[in-house]
Amino acid sequence: MDLEWLSNLDWFVNYGPYGLFLLAFIEAVFFLVPPDVMLLPLAIASPPLSLVYALITTTGSVLGGLLGYFLGRRAGRPLLLRFASSSRIKQLEGLFAKYGAWAVATAALTPIPYKVFTIGAGIFRVRLLHFTIASVAGRGLRFGMEALLVMVLGERATDFFYKDFEWLTIAIALAAVVVALIVGKRKQ
């Protein structure tokens, strides 16, 4: 099967919101280009539709994440080995054992490769409901923040995304980790 067309983002752009949905969907499973590279220009071109674009991106990403989850449950470790080394898989297994859906939420929010965590969540048997909630929360927060920043900053948002957005998502993810640690301590 020839997948060269996927490397051309113009193909996705030509289909507007449908292309955005498809890009977000396949990025959550195997594609390397994050949907942010299409979400941001669409939102900047039409700030009043920013939240709609964020919702489309979140929906596509979460549905793609669910496909990754089910692929992980079915295909297991051999599929994950395509994306990560054995030592990285052991680290992931430890993360999932300790943090479960919190690990998914962190990956959904940050530049950490979400696809590795969608597949890993299936392999390591994170509860489907918890996985879905974490994905919706993490992806929704990430893409929603992007949309809101575009609505507030307009074209100046581009500078912010290139300079500071990664740090903002990392700070929020760290806050989520702290909350997970506190919740984990209370359960003990």
Q: How many whole angstroms separate alpha carbon 71 and alpha carbon 146? A: 29
Residue 14, pLDDT score: 79
Q: DSSP character for 100?
A: T
What global pTM score does this model have?
A: 0.79
State residue 50's pLDDT score: 93
Query: What is the pLDDT, as a whole number, of residue 115?
Result: 87
Tokens 């020839």 sit on residue: 2
pLDDT at 183: 60
Residue with tokens 């990664």: 166
Per-residue pLDDT of the chain (188 residues; tens, 9 = 90+): 344 544 566 777 778 899 999 999 999 988 778 888 888 888 988 899 999 999 999 999 999 999 999 998 998 878 667 767 788 878 878 878 888 888 888 888 877 788 888 988 998 999 999 999 999 999 998 899 889 888 988 877 777 766 766 676 666 666 666 666 666 666 55
pLDDT at 3: 41
Domain ranges of the chain: 4-187
- CB neighbour burial string for 10-30, b if at least 16 within 10 angstroms, e if fewer: eebeeeebebbbbbbbbbbbb
pLDDT on residue 188: 59
